[in-house]
A and B are shown apart, each in its own frame.
Chain A
């Protein structure tokens, strides 16, 4: 479980996050949704300390992450898997080396065990056989999937995915959504997914938080979201014709 308490953050006097309070449940896929530029990525980065919030605190299983020393933070971070919006693969390393990297850094596995784990993770994201390719040689969607494989390599307790299926075709997109949901339940991970893809929202939205211009506007799940009366949220949810038809039906 992760609790976010009164997080605020400004850049150059411009408020990007305004007093955010939210709790993310363990064993569930928690979604953060919102329009482009609403502060979703900044919020996730504040949660893991890549950006220092101006005020407020973040608690990982009741431990106050914000107040921790560098070494204590490191210990928490070893349990975090994170998929970045752009993939953030190490471009001097092959796909295989990328996924093996966290295993080498922190795991106590033999080379054989590590290779098996890499094979397993690549298989889960439907990328068998991409081992020896460099990030520059694979498509953006494939990079995203390698990013997910790397994020789950160490069996994290907390999983952050920033737009895991942007740039993926609908079929692979659903595959990734299902993968995230499956491993979340299987290993009882506290998973946080940033998205503005309504398919994903309806597919895996067990707990949804809506953020608009840096403020939390709404909270609910995939059943309540289609009945929302919140003005800004409806604009986001029913932006597409397909969703409007769905509502009217």
Chain B
């Protein structure tokens, strides 16, 4: 129902463009810092964990780099980052739209003859679908770099082995798979909280609970979708 209203013909293209640029800035670039921090630490921890769990001489040392790269590209960057964004961006979206609802701003848009669902939600979806792949690619680099830092700063693995490992049997399809997931997750992260925000009834209290529901539902949907996509694409 909501999606049908969302994708009806837009009211005025130029205003949409302005909104999209605004949303790219607030939804995408606003998350840049947190993604960088999380990625570097996760990459580092994966490297440490793998290295400390391998103590057989039969397993070559470069396996650590290989494992770090695979985990970061296939699961960590697309899925964990999506979950974190579901929390950050999702709650932001649900409460912003919910506040617009309870303070009659959505009614005000409707009265001006504007399709409010489309005007508010479409720019958010487009912005996230566009910018999230860049965030995830950035996260991949930073995650792998986090592992490199471990190799450099500690003695668990040499940098040469690590660098060899992260290049070992590299299959670009892994990145494609990750980006497909990212785009689907971007849609989930923006559309589900939008739905909860748009249909808020009441006041500030209900806006808060809509925000929580938006985050919880989108996280669960991300996990289920992740399973389905993985099954479809990789198996």
Which residues of A (53-106) have their CB < 8 Å from a CB of B?
Answer: 73-75, 77-78, 80, 82, 84-86, 88-91, 101-102, 104-106
Q: Indicate if B152 sits at the interface (CB-CB under 8 A).
A: no
- Inter-chain contact A105/B112, CB cutoff 8 Å: yes
Interface residues on A, range: 20 to 34
Q: Indicate if A48 sits at the interface (CB-CB under 8 A).
A: yes
Interface residues on B, range: 10 to 19
Select B112's contact among A45, A77, A89, beta carbons within 8 Å: A77
Cα distance A91–B105 when bound, in Å? 9
Cα distance A101–B15 when bound, in Å? 10
Distance (whole angstroms) from the CB of A172 to the closest CB of chain B: 22
- Inter-chain contact A48/B113, CB cutoff 8 Å: no
Q: Which residues of B contact A104 (CB under 8 A)?
A: 12, 15
Cα distance A101–B12 when bound, in Å? 12
Distance (whole angstroms) from the CB of B83 to the closest CB of chain A: 27
Map CB proximity to B onto A26-64 as digits: 1 under 8 Å, 0 otherwise: 000000000000000000010010100000000000000
Q: Which residues of A contact B114 (CB under 8 A)?
A: 105
- Inter-chain contact B108/A90, CB cutoff 8 Å: yes
Q: Indicate if B25 sits at the interface (CB-CB under 8 A).
A: no
- Inter-chain contact B107/A84, CB cutoff 8 Å: yes
Cα distance A86–B11 when bound, in Å? 26
Q: List residues of chain B with CB under 8 Å of any chain A CB.
A: 11-12, 15, 99-100, 103-105, 107-108, 110-114
Q: What would 7 more interface pairs be, CB under 8 Å, given A73-B113, A102-B112?
A: A77-B110, A85-B104, A86-B103, A88-B105, A91-B105, A101-B112, A105-B112
Q: List residues of chain A with CB under 8 Å of any chain B CB.
A: 45, 48, 50, 73-75, 77-78, 80, 82, 84-86, 88-91, 101-102, 104-106
A/B interface sample: 29 pairs, CB < 8 A? A45-B107, A50-B107, A74-B113, A75-B113, A77-B111, A77-B112, A77-B113, A78-B113, A80-B111, A85-B104, A86-B103, A86-B104, A88-B103, A88-B105, A88-B108, A89-B108, A90-B100, A90-B105, A91-B99, A91-B105, A102-B112, A104-B12, A104-B15, A105-B11, A105-B15, A105-B112, A105-B114, A106-B112, A106-B113
